[in-house]
Amino acid sequence: MAAVYLDHNATTPLAEEVREAMLPFLRRGHGNPSTQHAMGREARAAIDAARETCARFFGCAPDEVVFTSGGTEGNNLALKGAAWQLPEERRHILIGAAEHPSVSKAVEFLARFGFTFDEVPTDASGKVLPAALAAALRPDTGLVSLMHAQNVVGTVNPVDELAEVLRGRPVLFHVDAAQSVGKIPASFLFSGADFMTVAAHKFYGPKGVGCLLVRRGRTLEPLFHGAGHERGQRAGTENTAGIVGLAAAIELAEATQAEAGERVVALRDLLHARLAQALPGVVLNGHPHDRLPNTLNLSFLGVSGAAIAARVPELMLATGPACHDRAAAVPGVFGAMGLDAARGSSSLRLTLGRSNTRAEIEQAAEQLIAAVRALRAEAGELPAEASRPSELPTCPRAGCERPLDFRDGLQGPELGCERGACPYLCLAPPPGVQV
Amino acid sequence: MTLKKPVYLDNNATTPMDPRVLEAMTPYFLEKFGNAASRNHAYGWVAEKAVDLAREQVAKLIGASAKEIVFTSGATESDNIALKGAIEMYKTKGKHLITLETEHKAVIDTCKYLERIGAAEVTYLKPQPDGLVDLAELEATIRDDTVMVAIMAANNEIGVIQPLAEIGALCHAKKVLFFTDAAQAVGKIPMDVEAMNIDVLAISGHKVYGPKGIGALYVRRRKPRVRLAPLVHGGGHERGMRSGTLDVPSIVGLGKACEVAGEELEAESARLTKLRDRLWNGLKAELDFIYLNGHETKRLPNNLNVSFAHVEGEGLMMAMKDLAVSSGSACTSASLEPSYVLKALGVGDELAHTSIRYGLGRFTTEEEVDFAIAQSVQAVKRLREMSPLYEMAKEGIDLSTIQWSVH
């Protein structure tokens, strides 16, 4: 069996185009962008161009782009950099209940220095609703940090509606867009946010680079002090090749995001449908529609996610976020969604990407079905929910949302809703595959 | 063979990547691209293994053990973690820091910040005119509440190498942490954290023919066990000291760069010393009124910092356009302020403005050095032809006694 990579929310491979763009800056003969000679100026020009690309894509000015070493640094810089400048009377911080640890640990750190914080609860899909944010706001709230898309279950927060709640208040708003950029439209211009975190390696760019978008007029106390790079907001010799790679990944996303998204949704729902059809007791975690197009988080009731993963070594999938916190067996988002530990520990995060093919998805489905059946057989006694029929995914067309099923199409069985096969879900199985 | 111009002599600002480094990194871009923290699958394990090897390679170069290496985004971040992390972690001991006026901006600015927020009291020692720290003065400055002595291994502008073993022994005896920013020294001179009693050490990837955007921090684990509060919080990577998805290709690159540097250190150091001396002798043979900044022998084998009297600074840089060299340090050369490092050595503004840093490197050839001599000599001579001051100096007139009339 060939390896199938289904962990694109952990990291993505570098795109060929991105590597090609970076190579000249990794090879010999490139200067420090802070130097005045020809080689330094060449590097500086490449960084300026990359900044323009980022600005255009996110809808901001080039001087609103601060290059960082990635999402974790971006979140730390935004939160600490903004918090240190809050006046005494506005040192209450709100974060979402399912934020990435680089946000939650940063505010826990700030809490040791006179700041207070609370978590805005999410609904059962992991979404932060505007009403919940409004209810959590206090007169002394000075900073709010919410993620655009959740990394484990993929639920997308309504950032613009959340910004609307904050409009007119003296509250700084940070959006962690590390998981959403390159997968769904993520505009800084329309977000209403003051700060937005971007990480390149989540969308086929290099690891070790990202950017923080900083609304004009907002200043940050730097996290790294030094020789005043990035307009004094982030010191350190610029990672020219990485920055060029980030811009190349953005250009790739700009050109192909919509199409790749449709393709990946189709494959994701195919995988979901196959599993739900073959196995009882399979439930979706996260929002059925307001979800990243590549993210499928399923609980296989009665068996542990880790045990399934161990049975299918060819499938690169995750039982939770890729972090070093080994103690946490159940991702924190399950608690936030109000789901019990059993639901969390029986979950798998399957996150698709550009390179996944239909054949790979069929293989993954087949292997997962076999692994779950075998584990359930070995377990003997199973909870009642494990034998309940699974719900099929619903049509992702806006306003349709009818259940999907396999129907007869012109070229054999196709996945579609009762209105017919969705135009972009015509995924006729290759000959010989039994539906 | 014709020379490729400009001739790159700015290896103290940044070094080109060694092709062997890029070769080592290449498989980790597209094929072995896993997240080193992915616990559930082989792609993650492969990445983690590569990181482990790199950690060994970095540790070996400085005589440390792999567990003592924390990967960062570069030396600036490493410097920030070292200072801020120590001040936060050891606040019960005190808040006094000792550093040098000639440290890199990443150290100076971090110290200024810690002073500004009231977290630290900092003593900035003035180096001696040759750039070396005065050990007696350092000893006298250490107090009961001194948390850390931050003295760089080798200076980025003038290449001066500090007496690390002596500083380390002193700090060890006084039970004060010794942190050294070794961005310029690692890979160029032998570094041994045990022999030198170094507790914390900063490394930069792009100064050792590795990638930009990657660095490391050595943090001693025993005798004493040093603890530093993290600067970047999150998923708890790097033993909690530095969160963030590991930049596997760059880490592999840094590891390889350290391995190559270690293997070639001795031979390369001898070769560079010879080339550097050839450059200095070549300049001295043709030009008068030129001055070497920093100690003549206790300096990096690749660095030469020279002031050319009686020329105009900007004109000099322009006349040397076929040489990629820096005046002052790279990070501040955009401004017209004279170098604060040279100022601390007592070099006057005039001479500071006409100082050139030649940074030789692994790919520098004898032919290039000869070209650098010829171009420098030609540039200085032409500029001096236009300089009445040079004529007067040659006639033995002490320029400082001249009364300038105001028009």
For residue B334, the model assigns a pLDDT of 53
Helix axes A71-83, A101-111, angle to 10 degrees: 30
Cβ neighbours of A242 in B, within 8 Å: 212-213, 250
Confidence of residue A412 (pLDDT cuts 50, 70, 90): low
Cα A301 to Cα A81, A283, A310, A344, A370: the distances in Å are: 43, 8, 17, 10, 15
Mutate to test the interface with B, among A324, A345, A355 (most CBs of B within 10 A): A324
- Is a pLDDT exceeding 90 seen at residue B28? yes
SS3 A386: helix
For residue B407, the model assigns a pLDDT of 61
For residue B168, the model assigns a pLDDT of 98
Active-site residues of A, by number, are 323
- The contacts of residue A260 (CB under 8 Å, 6+ apart) are A354
Mutate to test the interface with A, among B206, B217, B245 (most CBs of A within 10 A): B245
**A120: which strand partners?**
A96
pTM of the shown model: 0.94
Task: Pick B17's closest partner by Cβ from A28, A69, A236.
Answer: A28
Are A235 and A271 found together in one domain? no
pLDDT of B41-50, one tens digit each? 999 999 999 9
Q: Is there a contact between A225 and B110 if contact means CB atoms under 8 Å apart? A: yes
Q: Mean of the pLDDT values across residues A354-361?
A: 93
Confidence of residue A38 (pLDDT cuts 50, 70, 90): confident
A351 in contact with B, Cβ within 8 Å:
no
> Is the residue at A133 inside a domain?
yes
Range in A42-51, A379-388, A401-410, B272-281 the model is least confident about = A401-410
Q: Is there a contact between B246 and A101 if contact means CB atoms under 8 Å apart? A: no
Q: What is the DSSP letter of A175?
A: E
- Provide the residue type at A132 as one letter: A
- The contacts of residue B235 (CB under 8 Å, 6+ apart) are A72, A100, A101, A102, A321, A322, A323, A324, A325, B37, B243, B244, B245
A31 in contact with B, Cβ within 8 Å:
yes
Q: What is the DSSP letter of A385?
A: G
**B69: which strand partners?**
B218
Q: Which residue has the tokens 């050139």?
A: B356
Q: Is there a contact between A106 and B333 if contact means CB atoms under 8 Å apart? A: no
A284 in contact with B, Cβ within 8 Å:
no
> Is the residue at A428 inside a domain?
no
Are A169 and A211 found together in one domain? yes
Are A147 and A281 found together in one domain? no
Q: What is the nearest CA distance from A126 to chain B, expressed in angstroms?
A: 20
Q: What is the nearest CA distance from A409 to chain B, expressed in angstroms?
A: 37
Are A205 and A277 found together in one domain? no
Are A88 and A173 found together in one domain? yes
Confidence of residue A426 (pLDDT cuts 50, 70, 90): very low
For residue A39, the model assigns a pLDDT of 87
Are A172 and A151 found together in one domain? yes
For residue A411, the model assigns a pLDDT of 62
Cβ neighbours of B231 in A, within 8 Å: 76, 223-224
Q: Mean of the pLDDT values across residues A364-369?
A: 98
Q: What is the nearest CA distance from B230 to chain A, expressed in angstroms?
A: 10
For residue A402, the model assigns a pLDDT of 83
Q: What is the mean pLDDT of chain B?
A: 94
pLDDT of A236-249, one tens digit each? 999 999 999 999 99
Q: CATH no. for residue A285? A: 3.90.1150.10
Q: Which residue has the tokens 């996944």?
A: A356
Q: Is there a contact between B16 and A235 if contact means CB atoms under 8 Å apart? A: no
Are A196 and A313 found together in one domain? no
Higher model confidence: residue B330 or residue A209? A209
pLDDT of B166-194, one tens digit each? 999 999 999 999 999 999 999 999 999 99
Q: What is the nearest CA distance from B70 to chain A, expressed in angstroms?
A: 14
Are A200 and A343 found together in one domain? no
A391 in contact with B, Cβ within 8 Å:
no
Q: Mean of the pLDDT values across residues B360-381?
A: 97
Are A247 and A338 found together in one domain? no
For residue A409, the model assigns a pLDDT of 67
The two tokens of residue A361 are: 């998805």
For residue B330, the model assigns a pLDDT of 47
The two tokens of residue A332 are: 């924190």
Task: Pick B73's closest partner by Cβ from A3, A109, A208.
Answer: A208
Are A156 and A266 found together in one domain? no
Classify residue A306 as exposed, middle or buried by CB count within 10 Å of its CB (0-12, 13-18, 19+). middle
A17 in contact with B, Cβ within 8 Å:
no
Cβ neighbours of B249 in A, within 8 Å: 206-208
pLDDT of A148-165, one tens digit each? 999 999 999 999 999 999
Q: Which residue has the tokens 């976020």?
A: A321
Q: Please provide the distance, in angstroms rounded to a whole number, between the alpha carbons at the two ends of chain B.
A: 53
Q: Which domain holds residue A274?
A: 4-8+257-415
Q: Is there a contact between A102 and B16 if contact means CB atoms under 8 Å apart? A: no
Q: Is there a contact between B80 and A226 if contact means CB atoms under 8 Å apart? A: yes
> Is the residue at A429 inside a domain?
no
Q: Is there a contact between A225 and B212 if contact means CB atoms under 8 Å apart? A: no
Q: Is there a contact between A316 and B41 if contact means CB atoms under 8 Å apart? A: yes
Mutate to test the interface with B, among A20, A37, A100, A108 (most CBs of B within 10 A): A37
Share of chain A above pLDDT 70, in %: 93
> Is the residue at A425 inside a domain?
no
Are A242 and A362 found together in one domain? no
Are A237 and A186 found together in one domain? yes
- End of a domain among A194, A218, A253? A253
For residue B67, the model assigns a pLDDT of 97
For residue A421, the model assigns a pLDDT of 58
Contact between B203 and B104 under an 8 Å Cβ cutoff? The reply is: no
Q: Is there a contact between A37 and B326 if contact means CB atoms under 8 Å apart? A: yes
- End of a domain among A215, A234, A253? A253
Confidence of residue A435 (pLDDT cuts 50, 70, 90): very low
> Is the residue at A423 inside a domain?
no
Confidence of residue A419 (pLDDT cuts 50, 70, 90): confident
Count CA atoms within 13 Å of residue B47 on its CB side: 29
pLDDT of A164-203, one tens digit each? 999 999 999 999 999 999 999 999 988 999 999 999 999 9
SS3 B190: coil
Confidence of residue A410 (pLDDT cuts 50, 70, 90): low
- End of a domain among A203, A218, A253? A253
ipTM here: 0.93
Task: Pick B73's closest partner by Cβ from A29, A40, A69.
Answer: A69
Residue (of A256, A277, A262) closest to A362 by Cα position: A277
> Is the residue at A433 inside a domain?
no
Q: Is there a contact between A73 and B31 if contact means CB atoms under 8 Å apart? A: no
A347 in contact with B, Cβ within 8 Å:
no
Query: Strand A65-68 and strand A210-214: pairing?
Result: antiparallel
Classify residue A234 as exposed, middle or buried by CB count within 10 Å of its CB (0-12, 13-18, 19+). buried
> Is the residue at A420 inside a domain?
no
Number of domains in chain A: 2
- Is a pLDDT exceeding 60 seen at residue A429? no
Give the containing element (helix H, strand E) for B387.
none
The two tokens of residue B18 are: 């060694």
pLDDT of A255-312, one tens digit each? 998 888 888 998 999 999 999 999 999 999 999 999 999 999 999 999 999 999 999 9
Task: Pick A32's closest partner by Cβ from B14, B233, B325.
Answer: B14
A24 in contact with B, Cβ within 8 Å:
no
Considering only alpha carbons, which residue of chain A is nearest residue B33?
A13
Task: Pick A10's closest partner by Cβ from B35, B232, B243.
Answer: B35
Q: Is there a contact between B332 and A227 if contact means CB atoms under 8 Å apart? A: yes
Contact between A197 and A71 under an 8 Å Cβ cutoff? The reply is: yes
- Is a pLDDT exceeding 70 seen at residue A428? no
- Active-site residue, from B111, B171, B258, B331: B331
Q: Which residue has the tokens 């005045």?
A: A36
The two tokens of residue B317 are: 């840089």
Q: Is there a contact between A34 and B13 if contact means CB atoms under 8 Å apart? A: yes
Q: Is there a contact between A40 and B38 if contact means CB atoms under 8 Å apart? A: no
> Is the residue at A430 inside a domain?
no
- In Å, the largest CA–CA distance within chain B is 79
- Is a pLDDT exceeding 60 seen at residue B335? no
Q: What is the mean pLDDT of chain A?
A: 91
Confidence of residue A320 (pLDDT cuts 50, 70, 90): confident
Q: CATH no. for residue A212? A: 3.40.640.10
Cβ neighbours of B206 in A, within 8 Å: 32, 237
For residue A427, the model assigns a pLDDT of 45
- Is a pLDDT exceeding 70 seen at residue A210? yes
Q: What is the nearest CA distance from A335 to chain B, expressed in angstroms?
A: 18
Q: φ, ψ for residue B147 (rounded to 5)?
A: -90, -45
Q: Mean of the pLDDT values across residues B83-92?
A: 98
Task: Pick A37's closest partner by Cβ from B17, B232, B324.
Answer: B324
